[in-house]
Structure 1
Amino acid sequence: MKLLDTVEIDSKEPAEGTVIWLHGLGADGHDFEQITMELQLPDRLQLRFVFPHAPLRPVTV
């Protein structure tokens, strides 16, 4: 099984938890990098964020 490529943003200190951000069709992990700042989480929360890139799939309408 091949692992998905990801964008990973580490905390300043050792992480106490990890958020794995799953997204919908038409986006990749880079589209959500800024969400870590937009969430305005307290500095005391040391979180690591993982934004996977979903595999490409053909779509029909």
Structure 2
Amino acid sequence: MIDEIITLARHTVASGVAQLPAEGVRMIQRMMIQGLSRQFAESDRLETAIKQNLGGLGYAC
């Protein structure tokens, strides 16, 4: 049985709902921003690769 589930806004416990401490929320926000930054970098890399591949096929982007 799962006793607790952590979500972005709340910490849900089997006996009720309690708010995450402010430092916990900030940590989650930092982790999400770091993940988003990695995803943006990967998006840029993929866009460049796609444009190069299309250029090699004779399509201008």
Structure (1 or 2) with the greater strand fraction:
1
TM bin, normalised by shorter chain, reads under 0.3
TM-score by length of 2: 0.24
| Greater RCO structure (CA 8 Å; 6+ sep) | 1
Structure (1 or 2) with the greater helix fraction:
2
